[in-house]
Each structure stands twice: as structure tokens, then as C-alpha cells.
């Protein structure tokens, strides 16, 4: 069995969730990209997260960016600092926060991040909106819950 480092697993999960679409997530409007304000308050007003009795989140969003925002929020709520650690690892910056003994994975992370950044503009607008919303959701969750990080 192949072992994947924690950061690679988190990245793989984020990629699969964003591309395959989560179970129970539903975008309620036309898949086009309407123009809305992008503040955290505006994004959160365009989405509803309903959890089942088992804690499974169902996301109802008005647009792709609001959907991404909810995904970032829900993942941060469920996995806390593991999401932030995964993002730091994926940027190749883990060693900056944890010391020299952890920099081995940073080289591949930096290379992958540079490639992703270079290709970002080539993504379909819906994918970019989802990724941008995800980042906003993670950032807003961290702002509102600093004790968890």
C-alpha cells in the first residue's frame, strides 16, 4: 500500500470534493456566474448549510463562489487546523512553521503550487469561483475562530 503524507491526502480530498461534487451539495441556480459582492457576509448570505442528525452537511448555494465558501467553512469546522496545515503543506511552506526537520515535503509542494498558480487562469470560471469561495470560507472561519488555529 502506498503511503501519502498528510498534506497530499488533504489536497487529494479537497481536489476530489471540488471536482466530483459532494454528496448532498446542490447549487440552486443557473450554473452561470452572476455578479455578487464578495465579502464574507455577502457570501454567507447566499448559502445555507443544513446538517443531518449524523452531522453530514448539505449545502444549498445560490452560486459557485458561495458553494466554495460553504465547502471551506464546513471543512474548517469539521477538521479544524488540519485544513490549514494541509494548505500550508500544499504551498510548500510547512517547514517555515515547524522547523527544518519538516522541509522535505516542501520542495514538491512549492513545485505543485507554482504549477497550479500558473494554470489558475486556464480554469473554467465556475472552478475558479469555487476555489476562490473555498479560500474565503477557510479564511473567514479562521478569523471567527482564532483559538482553533
Cβ contact 55:122 at 8 Å = no
Query: For 24-34, what is the mean pLDDT?
Result: 47
Burial of 128 (0-12, 13-18, 19+ CB in 10 A): middle
Query: For 77-90, what is the mean pLDDT?
Result: 94
**Assigned fold of 6-148:** Penicillin Amidohydrolase; domain 1 (1.10.439)
pLDDT at 149: 82
Using 50, 70 and 90 to split pLDDT, how confident is the model at 86? very high
Beta strand 26-27 with 47-51: parallel, antiparallel or unpaired? Answer: unpaired
Burial of 116 (0-12, 13-18, 19+ CB in 10 A): middle
Using 50, 70 and 90 to split pLDDT, how confident is the model at 38? confident
CA dihedral 92, 9, 72, 141 (to 10 degrees): -70
Per residue in 44-69, pLDDT (tens digit) is 999 999 999 999 999 999 999 999 99
Amino acid at each position: 500500500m502506498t503511503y501519502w503524507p498528510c498534506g497530499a491526502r488533504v489536497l487529494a480530498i479537497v481536489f476530489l470534493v471540488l471536482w466530483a461534487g459532494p454528496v448532498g451539495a446542490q447549487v440552486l441556480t443557473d450554473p452561470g456566474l452572476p455578479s455578487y459582492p464578495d465579502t464574507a457576509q455577502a457570501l454567507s448570505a447566499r448559502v445555507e448549510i443544513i446538517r443531518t442528525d449524523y452531522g453530514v452537511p448539505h449545502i444549498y448555494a445560490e452560486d459557485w463562489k458561495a458553494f466554495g465558501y460553504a465547502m471551506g467553512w464546513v471543512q474548517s469546522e469539521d477538521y479544524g487546523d488540519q485544513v490549514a496545515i494541509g494548505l500550508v503543506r500544499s504551498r510548500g511552506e510547512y517547514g517555515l512553521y515547524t522547523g527544518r526537520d519538516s522541509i522535505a515535503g516542501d520542495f514538491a509542494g512549492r513545485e505543485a503550487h507554482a504549477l497550479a498558480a500558473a494554470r489558475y487562469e486556464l480554469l473554467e470560471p465556475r472552478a475558479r469561483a469555487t476555489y476562490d469561495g473555498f479560500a474565503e470560507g477557510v479564511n473567514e472561519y479562521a478569523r471567527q475562530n482564532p483559538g482553533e488555529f
